[in-house]
Amino acid sequence: MLKKTITYTNFDGNEVTETHYFHLSKADLIKMEVSRKGGLQAYLEEVVRSQDGKQIIETFEMLIRESYGMRTEDGRFFKNPADANAFMSGEAYSELFMSLVTNADAAAEFVNGIIPSGLEQEAAKIAATVPEEPVEDATGLTKTETPRVLSKQELSVMSAEELQSGLAAGRYKLS
């Protein structure tokens, strides 16, 4: 869960500071994964590669809308489309949005912050139970494929399903 304190100037000229919460559950990530051709990770990579301003804006709007919610005093988190719409029609949203589309570090922090915590540990458990599979090299000899060590950036945009299947197949490894 990402707790974001946002300061903005309201329409009366007063400075206002508010705290807002953002989170994507594992279920949210799976839904996003299956709703995009090639999966969410491929979609996000394509958006970054394309440098298409319109697509970047639409992607951040989607991530904000899907992750925005209200945290209760007892630690629960609830998402409601009406709350997301209300947030996105205000100046706090405008401040957040501008920081995300103009600052790559802020954008990466946001994406990493809304991804479920513990995903790395869950992936490590899965990887520990799967033996490396032998593969044939160019000469036809069997060798053990060296798994690619995933960076935090790659983990932040990778779906739980892709991570799980890559770890299970021995293609990925966590540092």
CB atoms within 10 A of CB 86: 12
Residue 162 and residue 155 in contact, taking contact as beta carbons nearer than 8 Å: no
> What are the structural domain ranges in the chain?
2-114, 119-174
pLDDT reported for residue 99? 93
**pTM confidence score:** 0.64
Average pLDDT over residues 107-115: 86
Query: For 32-62, how does the pLDDT look when each residue is reduced to its tens digit (9 = 90+)?
Result: 877 877 777 778 778 878 888 888 889 889 9
